[in-house]
Structure formats: C-alpha cells, structure tokens
Amino acid sequence: MRSRYLFLALLAACSPVEESEFATELAVVECRRIKTCARGEFESIYAGKMNDCVDSRGDALDDVVETYAGICAFDEDQASLCVRRVDGMRCEDWAEGDGARVCDLVYDCSDPEEPTE
C-alpha cells in the first residue's frame, strides 16, 4: 500500500527524488493541493481520506513514470524541485494547471545530439 510511504515521502521532500519514489512523493503533494484547493472534490472522490487519494493519484502517476522510464532521462533534482513547487503552489496556480508545467523538466526526452567532427 502506497500510503505507508506517506510519512517517508514527507521527510524526503528536500532531497533528490529517485525515480522509484517519484510517483508516491508527487501523489502526496498533489493530494495536499486537492485537499486544500478543491476540498469538495477531495471529500467527494476520496471521502476525506488522504491515503485513498495518495493510492489513487500514485497509481495514475505510476502509469506516467512507466511511459517515460527507459525512454527518457530522469532528473532527480528536477523531480525534487517539482515536488517542492507543487507542494507550495497557490490554489489559483494549481487550478490553472501549473502543477504539470512546473514538472515538465523531470524527464528529458530530447534526442541526444549527434557528435560533431
């Protein structure tokens, strides 16, 4: 169960985030945003239970991680910055979708440059 990692994810928020923990750590802060900024949605979907939210959001984020893993380069420092930014985001910014934008550098999917001669 993902919720057992809730406490550990909170403690690790300031250190680089490993790819294996990224979905859980981001799910924790996303659920905080939902609870704070969209209380009605949080109550309706998750019955006010943070662990249910973290499990659900974590599963969805696992799908994203699986899509990029092995194809794109994961940046632990950008992942940590993403988690911190989402956690501290104003409700207005979160509602406008800024959560996705502050996390767009976590995976680098650019093609490697051709070596120059």
pLDDT, tens digit (0-9, with 9 covering 90-100), for 50-98: 999 999 999 999 999 999 988 999 999 999 999 999 999 999 998 888 8
* Domain carrying residue 17: 2-108
Is residue 30 assigned to a domain?
A: yes
Is residue 115 assigned to a domain?
A: no
Is residue 49 assigned to a domain?
A: yes
Q: Give residue 49's pLDDT.
A: 95
| CA dist., res. 55 & res. 60, Å (int) | 9
Q: Give residue 12's pLDDT.
A: 47
Is residue 114 assigned to a domain?
A: no
Q: How many domains does the chain have?
A: 1
Q: CB-based contacts of 9: which residues, under 8 Å, 6+ apart?
A: 21, 24, 25, 28
Q: How far is CA 90 from CA 36, 46, 47, 86, 93, in A?
A: 10, 22, 23, 9, 5
Task: Report the amino acid identity of residue 14.
Answer: C
What is the separation of C-alpha 79 from the centre of its chain, rounded to a whole number of angstroms?
A: 8
Which residue reads 């650019």 in tokens? 110
Would you place residue 32 in the very low, low, confident or very high pLDDT band (cuts 50, 70, 90)?
A: very high
Would you place residue 45 in the very low, low, confident or very high pLDDT band (cuts 50, 70, 90)?
A: very high
